[in-house]
Amino acid sequence: MKTRYVILLIVGAAAAAATIPDHARSQNAAARPSTGMLGILQHGDWQCTLPGDAGSAAFVEVPEEGFRIGTASSYLNDEGTGIYLMRGNEVIFTRGPKKDQRFKRLGENTLQKLNRDGSPSKLICTRLGGAG
C-alpha cells in the first residue's frame, strides 16, 4: 500500500475517533474489565447483603442477588447459569442472568458490587461455604 494511503487511513481513523462523544467513550471504558492476571473465585454459595441499621439487623440479605460459584468460571442462581471473568480484582459476569454486573474483589471471600459508572455500591457478597 502506498504511504499516502496509509497516512489518509490513519488521519481518517483519528478524525472518526475524535467525533465519539466523551460520555460514550467513558461508558465503553467502564464496561471493560481491568487489567491483571486472570483468576477464579472460591467455589461455593455467595450471600449478598446490604447494610442494616443500629436499631435492627447489622445487615439485610438480598436473596435475589445471591449466587453459587462452580467450576470453569461458572455460576448459578435462581434464574439460571452463566459465566464470569475475574481479571485482577475485578469480576464481571459475562453471560447468564447476572450479565454485565461488575464487582470489586475485596478479599478471598468478599465482593462489592459496582454501579454502572464504576463507583462502589452498598451491596456486599460473601462466600458462605464450599461447593459440596
User: What pLDDT does residue 101 have?
Assistant: 98
Q: Which CATH class is domain 38-127?
A: mainly beta
User: What pLDDT does residue 25 have?
Assistant: 47
d(C-alpha 132, C-alpha 125), whole Å = 19
The ranges of the chain annotated as CATH 2.40.128.10 are 38-127
- pLDDT per residue over 94-104, tens digit each? 999 999 999 99
Residue type, 81: T
SS3 110: strand
- Closest among 69, 76, 72, 88 to 126, alpha carbons compared: 69
58 vs 49 pLDDT, higher one: 49
d(C-alpha 25, C-alpha 70), whole Å = 34
Identify the band that residue 12 occupies on the pLDDT scale cut at 50, 70 and 90: low
Mean pLDDT (whole number) for 56-75 = 95
Q: Is the dihedral of CA 116, 117, 118, 119 positive or negative?
A: negative
Q: Which three cell numbers stand for residue 34?
A: 481491568
Cα angle vertex 29, ends 23, 35, to 5°? 165
What is this structure's pTM?
0.71
Mean pLDDT (whole number) for 41-52 = 96
Mean pLDDT (whole number) for 7-24 = 57
d(C-alpha 52, C-alpha 75), whole Å = 27
Identify the band that residue 46 occupies on the pLDDT scale cut at 50, 70 and 90: very high
